[in-house]
Amino acid sequence: MILWVGVLVAGGFGAVLRFLVDGAVGRRAARSFPVGTLAVNVSGAALLGLIGGLALSRPAALLAGTAFVGSYTTFSTWMLETQRLGEERQVWPAVANIVVSVVLGMAAATLGQWIAGRL
């Protein structure tokens, strides 16, 4: 039961943090390109790489990785924003959103794992 409550709390914090980070970055960038979502997903990939590289117990990994980072990052918003760029005939920004997100996400996850290996 305590693990479920932890999932609810960590997931709630992750979702609120996503809302705050996406909004703050989006306001500063003020572009049609979804930089807020990109910032959230890349930072989340780095955090998940770090968590994955640490020797956490299964419950701790569930709380940190699945509950917090899982609710912080957002695949669905990334895809919706990419689809909307395509609908608006902004093909290159849509393609760039996919490529940049994947490349930076992989690099961020690798960086997170590298940092975990140094701790």
Task: Please check whether residue 61 is in contact with residue 14, taking contact to mean a CB–CB distance below 8 angstroms.
Answer: no
Show binding-site residues for Na(+).
Answer: 70, 73
Asked if pLDDT for residue 119 goes beyond 80, the answer is yes
Enclosing domain of residue 30 = 1-117
For residue 45, the 8-state DSSP code is H
Which range among 28-32, 45-49, 54-58 shows the weakest confidence by mean pLDDT?
28-32
Q: What pLDDT shows up at residue 29?
A: 85
pLDDT digits (tens, 9 = 90+) for 48-59: 999 999 989 988
Q: Which residues are annotated as a binding site?
A: 70, 73
- Largest interatomic CA distance in the chain: 49
| pLDDT for 31 | 79
pLDDT at 17: 97
Whether the pLDDT of residue 89 is over 80: the answer is: yes
* Number of independent structural domains in the chain: 1
Nearest alpha carbon to residue 84 among 34, 23, 19: 34
Task: Write out pLDDT tens, residues 8-19.
Answer: 999 999 999 999
Rounded Cα distance, 44 and 94, in Å: 21
